[in-house]
Amino acid sequence: MARILIAEARFYEELNDQLLAGARAAIEAAGHEHETITVPGALELPGAIALASESGRYDAYVAIGIVIRGETYHFEIVAGESARGLMALTMDGLAIGNGILTVENDAQAEVRANPAKKDKGGEAARAALAMLELRERFA
């Protein structure tokens, strides 16, 4: 049984609840344990996962959050840098599922977060588990 850390950037509470429900359901359906931590925003997710990885307590990680385009360039910074940070950790050997939604509006976020629709939280958890399986295969 693997131990999975879900790191969530809890900015949009109702949407995050849906992402979290999907991620938890996918992990539990696969027979694994999970723990959840919360960070202020998507930019903090890679740092939180890096810190958690130093503990050696987790086998894989799921990053979830939502970034909705606004009127400024901030969207591009947050979307790009959070993805870059997670990819760097993945390239260092961590099994991570990226469930950070980067969307144009609330309606797109709702469809993607909802476990009964696109279930991107569950998809990110399944990606983390798939990467964990690959890591173990090549160990």
Q: Please report, as a single letter, which amino acid is at residue 16.
A: N
Distance CA 61, CA 128 (A): 6
98 annotated ligand-binding residue: yes
**Sole residue written with tokens 């909705």:** 68
How buried is 50 (Cβ within 10 angstroms: 0-12 exposed, 13-18 middle, 19+ buried)? middle
Q: Residue 74 catalytic?
A: yes
Q: Which of 3, 57, 74, 117 is catalytic?
A: 74
68 annotated ligand-binding residue: yes
CB 123 within 8 Å of CB 112: no
Q: How many residues does the chain have?
A: 139
71 annotated ligand-binding residue: yes
Distance CA 25, CA 103 (A): 23
10 annotated ligand-binding residue: no
112 annotated ligand-binding residue: yes
104 annotated ligand-binding residue: no
62 annotated ligand-binding residue: no
Please enumerate, by residue number, every residue annotated as part of a binding site for 5-amino-6-(D-ribitylamino)uracil.
Answer: 11, 42-44, 66-68, 98
Please enumerate, by residue number, every residue annotated as part of a binding site for (2S)-2-hydroxy-3-oxobutyl phosphate.
Answer: 71-72, 112
Please enumerate, by residue number, every residue annotated as part of a binding site.
Answer: 11, 42-44, 66-68, 71-72, 98, 112
Catalytically annotated residues: 74
